[in-house]
Structure 1
C-alpha cells in the first residue's frame, strides 16, 4: 500500500445508534492527530428503501466530528470496507460488536488487513480491541511452544 495521509476509519450500518462508533473513532483520531473517515455500506437490495433519516443523522454526526461520511451500496460489505480502508490509508478501524448471528464482518476485515488494529464498540460503549501481533511476538510464542 502506498504511503498517504493516515486516517481512522469508522464502519457504520444505517442504524442511529452507530453514533457511538463515530464518537469512539473521533477519540482515536484526536489522540493520533489524524483525520476521521466514516463508511456506511448498504446492501444493494436496500436501494431506495435505505433509511434516509438515519443516514442523514449519522452524516450530521460525522460532520460534527469533522469527518466525511461515504455511503456505498454493495452486497459484500467486508470486501467493500477493506478496499475503502486501503484507499483512505486507514491505520485503525472502528466497528460495532457483532451480535448473534455473527455475520463475519470483523473477522473478514481482520483476515484481509491483519496489520490494522480494530476497535469494536459494544452497545454499552465498552471498546474491545483486536491488535496485530508483532513479528517479535510471533517468534516469542513459537519459542514458548517449543519448550
Structure 2
C-alpha cells in the first residue's frame, strides 16, 4: 500500500486563487504533509491573460513549496478525485461558488466522502465539510 499523503488545493485560472494556495499551505504545515496544487482547464489556454494568471499561480505554488499540476479535461470533479487519490489527499481546499454551484464540490465529496474539504470564500472565510471522525481545517490566525 502506498503511504503518500498531501493536502490538495484545486484552483481555477483566476489570479485570486492565491488565497486557496495560502490556506492549503497553512493546513499542510499543520498536518505535516506536502502541498499539491491542481488546476483543471476545460479547454486549451486561449488568451494571454489566462496564461499569465496560471503562471502567477504556478509561481505562488512554487513559493509555497508546492508542485502545481495542470490538466485539460471537461470533467473537473472526476479528474480532481482521481488526482486526489493519486497523491493521497488527506484534505482538499477549493474556492466557494458565490452563486449557483457547478456541482464540483458535491461530486468531489461524493467521490471522496472521507476527505475533509475546505471551501474558501473571496473574503477568506473558510467553510468545511468534515466527515465524521476526521480532522477538519485548523483555525487560521491572521496577523
TM-score (ref. length: structure 1): 0.86
Written as runs of structure 1 = structure 2, the 5 A alignment for 1:48-63 is: 48-49=45-46, 51-63=50-62
**Larger radius of gyration between Structure 1 and Structure 2:** 1
Alpha-carbon separation, structure 2, partners of 1:6 and 1:24: 17
Q: Does 1:37 align with 2:36?
A: yes
Query: 2:57 is paired with a residue of what secondary structure?
Result: helix
Alpha-carbon separation, structure 2, partners of 1:22 and 1:74: 21
Residues 49-58 or 110-119, more deviating: 49-58
| Counterpart residue number, 2:86 | 87
| Counterpart residue number, 2:75 | 76
Written as runs of structure 1 = structure 2, the 5 A alignment for 1:1-147 is: 2-44=1-43, 47-49=44-46, 51-134=50-133
Task: Name the count of aligned residue pairs.
Answer: 131
Alpha-carbon separation, structure 2, partners of 1:75 and 1:11: 15
The ranges of structure 1 where at least 4 consecutive aligned residues each deviate by more than 3 angstroms after the TM superposition are none
Query: For each residue in 1:22-66, what CA deviation from the matched residue of structure 2 results, as whole angstroms up to 9, or x when unmatched?
Result: 00000000001100000000002xx13051100000000000000
Alpha-carbon separation, structure 1, partners of 2:45 and 2:11: 18
- Which structure is higher in helix share? 1
Query: 2:45 is paired with a residue of what secondary structure?
Result: helix
Query: For each residue in 1:87-132, what CA deviation from the matched residue of structure 2 results, as whole angstroms up to 9, or x when unmatched?
Result: 0000000000012221010110000100000000000001111001
| Counterpart residue number, 1:141 | none
Alpha-carbon separation, structure 2, partners of 1:3 and 1:133: 24
Unpaired segments of 5 or more residues in structure 2?
A: 134-143
Unpaired segments of 5 or more residues in structure 1?
A: 135-147
TM-score (ref. length: structure 2): 0.89
Alpha-carbon separation, structure 2, partners of 1:48 and 1:13: 12
Aligned-residue CA RMSD (Å)? 1.0
